[in-house]
Amino acid sequence: MQPQFICTTLETQRDFLDVNYKITFPKSAMWVFCELAGGVACIVGAAQGVGDYLLPCGIFLLLMGIWGLGWPYARAILGYRRALKTYGGAMRPSTVTFGEKIVNDTPNGIMTMPYEAVKNIHFLKNSFVIEDANGVGIIVSKNGFTDASYMDCVNFLCEQCSNLEL
C-alpha cells in the first residue's frame, strides 16, 4: 500500500511541555489533589490538637503535592535535555508515515503502530499525539505534512482506527 500521508516532525522543548502538561499530568492530577487536600486536613487537625503526629504528616503531604504540581515541567525539561544529549546537541527530525501501519522513523529506530491499536488522539498547540492503549504515543507535527493538511490526516485516522476514542 502506498503511504497516504508523510509528516516530518522536529520535536521542540514546547512539544515536550505540551505532552507532559496536557497528557501525562491529567492522569495523575487526582493524586496531587488528594495530597494537597490531605496535607491541609492534617495541618488543620494538628492545629485543633487532634494529634501531634498530624503536623509532620501534613507538611509531608503538602510538599508531595507541590512536587507533583512541578513534576510535569521538570520531566519535560529533563526529557528534552536527555534527547539533546542523545542526539549530540541538536534534535534530529523523525518521519511519520501513514500507510498500512503508522511508522515512526526516528534517529533511534523505527516504531510501528497498527491502526487498530490507536486509542486516543491528543491535540496540542503545534502537534498532535497518537496514543495506543498502553500509553505509547507518537508526536506528529501539524506543520510537517508535505502533500496534505494535518486535518486530512486526522480524518484518515478517524476512518482507519476502529478503537479510536475522540
pLDDT band at 2 (very low <50, low <70, confident <90, very high): low
pLDDT for the residue numbered 63: 92
Residue 162 pLDDT more than 60? yes
| Model confidence pLDDT, tens digit, residues 97-150 | 888 888 988 877 888 899 998 898 888 888 888 888 887 888 888 888 877 888
pLDDT for the residue numbered 37: 92
Percent of the chain with pLDDT over 70: 96
Mean pLDDT, rounded, for 63-78: 83
Query: Which position has the higher pLDDT, 90 or 65?
Result: 65
pLDDT for the residue numbered 130: 87
pTM of the model: 0.68
pLDDT for the residue numbered 3: 63
Contact 161, 115 (CB under 8 A): yes
pLDDT for the residue numbered 5: 77
| Model confidence pLDDT, tens digit, residues 27-58 | 778 888 899 999 999 999 988 888 778 889 99
